[in-house]
Structure 1
């Protein structure tokens, strides 16, 4: 599910560069004959291991009329396998001292277990069972259908501001599958036949569309042997072909309204379509987010929450995806401030970025924040495993992106920030959404 993702203002000051430089992630990578890409990172600092599989399938691989499949499989593949009884998957994890979960985006599905390192073999077996021969039957489909419906009721239908993403993305994208959210349509799931679910699995959940990433207290040679034992027998699937659907530029502002019975305080959103995650501008837009709303010292928070006190909450964040991104600003009013006043205050700060270079002090603060985020992201084995898998999956099979990302951040200049604000944050190329309490509907 889409979450408000904004960076914490943590500034760690001088010395961060040397800390980050010491954080280089060493890894071994190779392919099995069936196309499964394997990445191994050894870290003996704690007796813990993270086992993860990232499948390059998300809601963008679905088709109109059959949305929600990727997110549905996030749940369905916990049902069990030919060798794991229904309902036993999570019990096996917890009874052996582990934790596990999964998540789905528009672009990928990520499964993982974190175990004491002496349970590495169990983690590999569980993920191989999930990939090789899960049980996909009417009982499991019906059960997980109800689970997904309850999740949608909880996180979207009955959650305050829970439907803003639906409205924003359906306006930002008219042709691309990003127009719907990963949770998809319950009617589509209800209408799907069992064979359609099996076909979706057979097409996308195959070794040659996945990365097995393992990080922690492991013996490399032994791990390779176990990986080969558990995963080499899984047949290679047909090549997964995907072609990005190009969207025409937005040349005139789109204004829309949504009513929500779960809220009492209205909100104003403005969203812009921006480039996907692999380009330099995605990093620059993340930095702009931090400048505008990354903590209590950020431009928007200080202006609208602290000084003018016309906003209860204000945020700007770059929701970056593989093909495109959505740069979103939002504000909730304080003291019945008109929503258009909040929008103007946000726009004024964007204009400042477009017309003036940020100060050297602000620039250094942002660099420190991002260096700290880099260090934090690789401080836990699960984070390392996911970052290694993401580099291979999204950055043209460049697993080493985990080690070059910080250099890319440091290369961003104040002029780059100004240029990106000018290029992407234009009023005539955005969606403005008035998100109102349902009682305001006439």
Structure 2
């Protein structure tokens, strides 16, 4: 499941159609009001604590329904692996369901179900997470269960031998049998030369073949320490009671030194990179990845943070709602060059950032023509700028996404955990919203002219190949995170 922060929601949701763009200036008063009150009057009463062993506890009371979401976040993901053991973070996520000193394999899930709860887990480049949504009065029970497997994950080699085959099949289905997934895997392995973001979350198949049970156990011993973890609870709970339960359960885990990753900074790119990926497919696909700055701070912003925010707005102007620029210019009309086109500003994460432009060429059009058309849309903004109505539209959608996210205790917990992983404060949503409101049309025009040169670009093209007789069409491309 892809874990989407509310910051990014404006790019993909809350669409209303281009014809509803408001005239310039009609939304200014409401946006200004939000910008001025977002930090002063945060909608939440979230509190954060440090347990005796260094583990973090974040609690968000929400008493609208007698339910609670309990999440355990570990600040370790695929980017913390070393060559030769890619995929081990995700494999460990699977093995966390296979037993502890107190529970037999599979017993954790059976007990959560008996409590009336639902549970799952997820791994991506930056983190691993585990969650349960349960009746609020069963919260302590799942805290006991999760603390036990965090500290005492234990299983026989035979369980690993079975589960590693499950992970391999997951790789085959989600990546090797999906042409676009193969393209993106190869693309990011080319974009990044030294940074661990170049590795697939599920791991390379050769590493999965060579992985041992002790590789997984060692990764658990090394990274699953209290100082690398946070418990997030949202729902119908009392903060003081949750804190007391957390100390009784998680707080009893002995503190250990937290490992430190090497920086592994990505060197400056010094020229355009281009790859072709040949896979059985019916249509070509183009993906253009530009190296851009990431958001690192939400207060006292550096110039790079401000540029990253402007890039997020640029992506929303291009592809943030039905009938946005890419759709109008490339997909609609008789002279269209694409069956679909999109953009994404991946500016939030522990590692480096990329801005991607993607598309499927229309019948009779080549990948080269689509590539040029995608470039032309960014170049047009760099030359002419954007309309004030476009800018206010995407800001309003972001504002709305903040409100809608608060309707879901799961959404609140996810957001709090995501921002903790990035070492941002618990009110990062409000702070980032305030910063977004300050992004101007001139800022968007400036970044469109600054970050889209060839020296920062890697282009991947899917070259369709004939399918073998009887070969089934692959499922839709999977999300970037790997789910249990």
* TM-score, scaled to structure 2: 0.85
Residue 71 of structure 2 corresponds to which residue in structure 1? Answer: 52
Does the residue aligned with 1:411 lie in a helix, a strand or coil?
coil
Residue 117 of structure 2 corresponds to which residue in structure 1? Answer: 98
Of 96-105 and 167-176, the range deviating more from structure 2: 96-105
Among 433, 438, 453, the alignment partner of 1:426 is 453
Of 97-106 and 170-179, the range deviating more from structure 2: 97-106
Does the residue aligned with 1:420 lie in a helix, a strand or coil?
helix
Residue 264 of structure 1 corresponds to which residue in structure 2? Answer: 282
Report 1:333-412 matches (<5 A).
Answer: 333-396=361-424, 398-412=425-439
Residue 414 of structure 1 corresponds to which residue in structure 2? Answer: 441
Matched, 1:184 2:208: no
Gapped regions of structure 1 (runs ≥ 5): none
Residue 52 of structure 2 corresponds to which residue in structure 1? Answer: 33
Q: Deviations over 1:70-98 (max 9, x none)?
A: 11112111112122221122222223221
CA contact (8 A) 1:52 1:213 kept: yes
CA contact (8 A) 1:17 1:371 kept: no
Residue 317 of structure 1 corresponds to which residue in structure 2? Answer: 344
Among 255, 264, 271, the alignment partner of 1:236 is 255
Among 8, 11, 15, the alignment partner of 1:10 is 15
Q: Deviations over 1:329-378 (max 9, x none)?
A: 11112222111111111111100121222111111111112112222333
Report the Cα offset of residue 325 of structure 1.
1.3
Residue 285 of structure 1 corresponds to which residue in structure 2? Answer: 311
Query: CA 1:92/1:75 → structure 2, altered by over 3 Å: closer, same or farther?
Result: same
Query: CA 1:281/1:91 → structure 2, altered by over 3 Å: closer, same or farther?
Result: farther
Residue 359 of structure 2 corresponds to which residue in structure 1? Answer: 331
Report the Cα offset of residue 23 of structure 1.
5.9
Residues in 2 aligned to 1:189 and 1:265: alpha-carbon distance in whole angstroms? 30
Residue 302 of structure 1 corresponds to which residue in structure 2? Answer: 328
Report the Cα offset of residue 68 of structure 1.
0.6
Residues in 2 aligned to 1:29 and 1:84: alpha-carbon distance in whole angstroms? 30
Matched, 1:435 2:459: no
Report the Cα offset of residue 199 of structure 1.
1.4
CA contact (8 A) 1:25 1:402 kept: no
Residues in 2 aligned to 1:136 and 1:274: alpha-carbon distance in whole angstroms? 43
Q: Deviations over 1:97-133 (max 9, x none)?
A: 2111111111111111111111111221121122111
Residue 273 of structure 2 corresponds to which residue in structure 1? Answer: 254
Q: How many residues align?
A: 438
Residues in 1 aligned to 2:261 and 2:201: alpha-carbon distance in whole angstroms? 17
Report the Cα offset of residue 280 of structure 1.
3.3
RMSD of aligned C-alpha atoms? 2.3
Query: CA 1:290/1:88 → structure 2, altered by over 3 Å: closer, same or farther?
Result: same
Report the Cα offset of residue 190 of structure 1.
2.7
Report the Cα offset of residue 155 of structure 1.
0.8
Matched, 1:155 2:160: no
CA contact (8 A) 1:41 1:214 kept: yes
CA contact (8 A) 2:168 2:208 kept: no
Query: CA 1:67/1:259 → structure 2, altered by over 3 Å: closer, same or farther?
Result: same
Query: CA 1:159/1:46 → structure 2, altered by over 3 Å: closer, same or farther?
Result: same
Matched, 1:115 2:134: yes
CA contact (8 A) 2:52 2:247 kept: no
Does the residue aligned with 2:332 lie in a helix, a strand or coil?
helix
CA contact (8 A) 1:102 1:109 kept: yes
Query: CA 1:424/1:244 → structure 2, altered by over 3 Å: closer, same or farther?
Result: farther
Q: Deviations over 1:375-432 (max 9, x none)?
A: 2333311221122222232135x22213312112112121221222222221332011
Matched, 1:72 2:113: no
CA contact (8 A) 1:277 1:322 kept: no
Q: Deviations over 1:28-77 (max 9, x none)?
A: 21111211011111111111101011100011111111111111112111
CA contact (8 A) 1:285 1:420 kept: yes
Residues in 2 aligned to 1:391 and 1:199: alpha-carbon distance in whole angstroms? 27
Query: CA 1:329/1:114 → structure 2, altered by over 3 Å: closer, same or farther?
Result: same
CA contact (8 A) 2:279 2:463 kept: yes
CA contact (8 A) 2:93 2:123 kept: yes
Residue 222 of structure 2 corresponds to which residue in structure 1? Answer: 203
